[in-house]
Amino acid sequence: MALIVQKYGGTSVGNTDRIKNVARRVAKSRAEGDQIVVVVSAMSGVTDGLIKLAKEITPLPSEREMDMLLATGEQQTIALTAVALHAAGVPAVSLTGAQAGIVTDGVHTKAKIQNITPDEVHRLLDAGNVVIVAGFQGQTEEGQITTLGRGGSDLTAIALAAALKADLCQIYTDVDGVYTADPRLVPSARKLPEISYDEMLELAGAGAKVMQLRSVEFAKKFDVIFEVRSSLNENPGTIVKEETKSMEDVVVRGVSIDKNQAKITVEGVPDQPGRAARIFKALSEAAINVDMIVQNVSHAGGVRVTDISFTVDKPDLLKASKVIEGLKPELAFTSVTTDESIGKLSIVGVGMRSHSGVAARMFETLAHEGVNIGMISTSEIKISVVIDLKDGDRAVKAVHEAFIG
């Protein structure tokens, strides 16, 4: 008897027919004799609808109250999923994040899981139930309701799998698995049977929308092997696990483009120690994630000045601009410019470690396509470039063709 954690995302539970479909799948797994824990997201559209209501009232609602509001989305899905399992003749009990023992810190809307006490989950499983846990949410030790931020339901599933010492963790979504590129952009893209945590991390960080960084990091840290697969068919998905020797044979595992970033350039910053640090500390204090950073030194009127460019998530752009503008008196820079029309193109593969010339080949491919490169950043197993948004899809295809075929 195995213990399996299955996570179903918003589209997989998007309406009551979909929820019944999930119940059928869970019932089938259970009929094979396994213990099943189901983690569900809010029905697609529900969270956005709630955010819209709050924004109708005020543009910047309190984060504590947003957690109170948004946690209801998953709570609705767990109840409906339990009802659907009952209708399928399967004993099932729903639990909120708090009831499932998920304790987080108090950073509302972006809380971190601190620990999980899965006693109640175990008790209900041992009594023969399927246990349905609300993803995306937890509770502080003081009893405040928190949410885990984007992709939080995946995190709930993986953290629960770790805490329960589950035999298997399945992340059901609306795609078949992890592809070498977005099949909507690149028709020749193919599904990967397996991928390493690090590659998955770099792809997630590079805008591949399958999973959020944090969930993969958590899985890597606690060695939770998980499978990304579709809730709409029986196809095997992609197994995400620790790197194996044979994985290095492939130079580029995947190509992705992130269209959700924006670029900010702070121009004419006097080139003195600590100025860049000041900028990124201020952004960090405002809880804004910065991705790529490029700095060039130049001379303006005989004074050494630098231009600092960086990218942030598009929704954070306004907030980030304001933070930077607020530093103007202190840092004495010339101006701040922003650009929302960018795409971040990335190639990822553990094989890069043992293969040389990968960057050159990527840049040549882009040059051949007439695509201009604005920023470059590299890691051990990833190369990312910022390009014009309008060149994005074309560039992905060309690079995929060059490395994967």
145 is a contact residue toward a second copy (CB under 8 A): yes
Angle, CA 89 vertex, CA 88 and CA 92 arms, to 5°: 95
- Give 99 or 365: the residue with its C-beta nearer to a second copy: 99
DSSP assignment letter at 242: S
122 is a contact residue toward a second copy (CB under 8 A): no
The distance of closest approach from Cβ of residue 8 to a second copy in the complex, given in angstroms and rounded to an integer, is: 15
Q: How many residues does the chain have?
A: 405
Rounded to an integer, what is the distance from CA 77 to the centroid of its chain?
21
156 is a contact residue toward a second copy (CB under 8 A): no
The distance of closest approach from Cβ of residue 94 to a second copy in the complex, given in angstroms and rounded to an integer, is: 5
27 is a contact residue toward a second copy (CB under 8 A): no
79/87 Cα distance (integer angstroms): 12
- Give 56 or 380: the residue with its C-beta nearer to a second copy: 56
- Give 5 or 145: the residue with its C-beta nearer to a second copy: 145
**Where do we find the tokens 């700095």?**
295
51 is a contact residue toward a second copy (CB under 8 A): no
78 is a contact residue toward a second copy (CB under 8 A): yes
270 is a contact residue toward a second copy (CB under 8 A): no
* Residues in binding contact with a second copy, number by CB under 8 A: 35
With 0-12 / 13-18 / 19 or more C-beta atoms within 10 angstroms meaning exposed / middle / buried, residue 1 is: exposed
CA distances from residue 200 to 6, 255, 298 in whole angstroms, order as listed: 19, 11, 37
The distance of closest approach from Cβ of residue 268 to a second copy in the complex, given in angstroms and rounded to an integer, is: 38
Q: Which stretch binds a second copy (CB under 8 A): 4-12, 62-70, 225-233, 340-348?
A: 62-70
Q: Which stretch binds a second copy (CB under 8 A): 67-75, 205-213, 338-346, 367-375?
A: 67-75
The distance of closest approach from Cβ of residue 26 to a second copy in the complex, given in angstroms and rounded to an integer, is: 14
Per-position DSSP letters for 125-154, written without gaps between them? HHTT-EEEEETTEEE-TT--EEE--TTHHH
Is the torsion defined by CA of 317, 322, 326, 331 positive or negative?
positive
**34, 44, 83, 379: which one binds a second copy (CB under 8 A):** 83
